[in-house]
Amino acid sequence: MKKSIDTNSSKENVSRETKWIIFLIGLSGNLAWAVENQFYNVYMYNKISPTPIYISIMVAASAIVAGITAIIMGALSDIKGKRRPFMLFGFIFWGITTAIYPLAGVFRPVLLAIAIAILFDCIMTYFGSTAFDAVFSGYFTDITNEQNRGKALGVLQTTMLLSTLVIYGISGFIIEGFEATIGFGYEIFFVIMGGFAILGIIGAYMSKEPVGLEPSGLSLKEHVKKLFRKDMIKDNKDCFLILTGILIWATAFYIFFPFILVYLQHYLGFDLSASSIIVFIGFIICIILAYPLGMYIDKIGRKKITIVCVVGDGLSLFLFIISANFFLLIIAAVLMQLFMTGWNMAANAWMRDLFPASQTGEFSGYYTLFAATLPMVIGSPIGGILSSISGQRILIDGIPGYVPTPLIFIVAAFIMIPAIIPLFFAKETKGKLVSKSSALKKPM
């Protein structure tokens, strides 16, 4: 006999069990991504080579892997009609590959160490993108509906903020503390962070296959080919307008975000702990507001909030670069992260409202392509090139490089604001609920 639980006993509520599954998987996945998005870059800069363009190459390479993986593995989970095994497989190996990343630093010459670091990042990204970007993203859409998705995203966004809070709250102290005492600060840090994959494993084990999710009957080639048909875009025009807005916003975001700790540490002169705290405090505020904001998104709709948050986030970038004082930087970081939180939640809820019900895994691959792969491939090299052109020269352990300057934030702000244009033309909702995926079933 198959067991099932009702994830939405009323259309507007999310069950406690579903919240725990989202929380555990979301926290583990977002912890791993927070480490990869910042501290892989910091490790590359501080321990291998202080050359921003190498960070850009690593970010772009891992983004390409993430996009290809999300599309293929998302389609494969639709083909098999299963989410749970993919999440378990991904989280187990995600933790292992996160823990071994600092081994790249032992290789010489420097160019070999850079190549190994990029390779390790790409391998880790394959497992992470499988578990989180492709399969969990599709699973999340399967188990929520238009009327409770904002609340569920409030839980998910809380895990993103909490994970970043953990990373920025303890990273500087762990790295600098162990570096000073035993000389292995980064190594200890990455092992600890890899260990948090156990939360994702527990969440994946607790999960139950969505009711109504059946094998598609198509081959992988047919699935992927169908994704890139013109009529697929035409039939889902509003969804692709939102994805275009996400692409523009995320491209601007990745111009500055991979370098933000490097900027605080080496341009403004804060140590790693102080740099982390500046970001840390902003995330505390956002954690408190995330779930209430999700309820607000469900009540008043997605469109207004996305447009306000895009404009607010762009303006807050200017405030960030004119704030050299520690406390002013904290205020600027709070505003920047608050608008970023509102944008992520509203845009994600809006986009998922418009996903075709039978193709949530595949469309999660689209999301990764528009929100990560293309923005990282475009945005991060822009940030790296701007840093190299305008950056101050620096020498770390005898290796020359460049320090990012405020120019990366200015350019990002001007690119970010036009993200509102496609949002104006997108409809708020497709006008119907995806009701068949409001329950879960557990394999026998």
The secondary structure of 230-257 as a DSSP string is HHHHHHTHHHHHHHHHHHHHHHHHHHHG
CA 274 vs CA 230, 280, 397: distances in Å: 50, 9, 22
**Confidence (pLDDT) at 223:** 66
**Confidence (pLDDT) at 440:** 37
- Whether the pLDDT of residue 166 is over 60: the answer is yes
pTM: 0.72
Over pLDDT 70: what percentage of the chain?
A: 86
pLDDT tens for each residue of 23-35: 999 999 888 888 8
**Confidence (pLDDT) at 435:** 35
Mean pLDDT of the chain: 81
SS (H, E, C) 414-436: HHHHHHHHHHHHCCCCCCCCCHH
Segment 219-225 long-range contacts (CB within 8 Å, at least 24 positions apart): 219/79, 220/72, 220/75, 220/76, 220/79, 223/75, 223/76, 223/78, 223/79, 223/362, 224/71, 224/72, 224/75
pLDDT tens for each residue of 65-112: 988 888 888 888 888 888 889 999 999 999 999 999 999 988 989 999
**Confidence (pLDDT) at 431:** 40
Domain architecture of the chain: domains with CATH: 3-442 (1.20.1250.20)
pLDDT class for 362, splitting at 50, 70, 90?
low
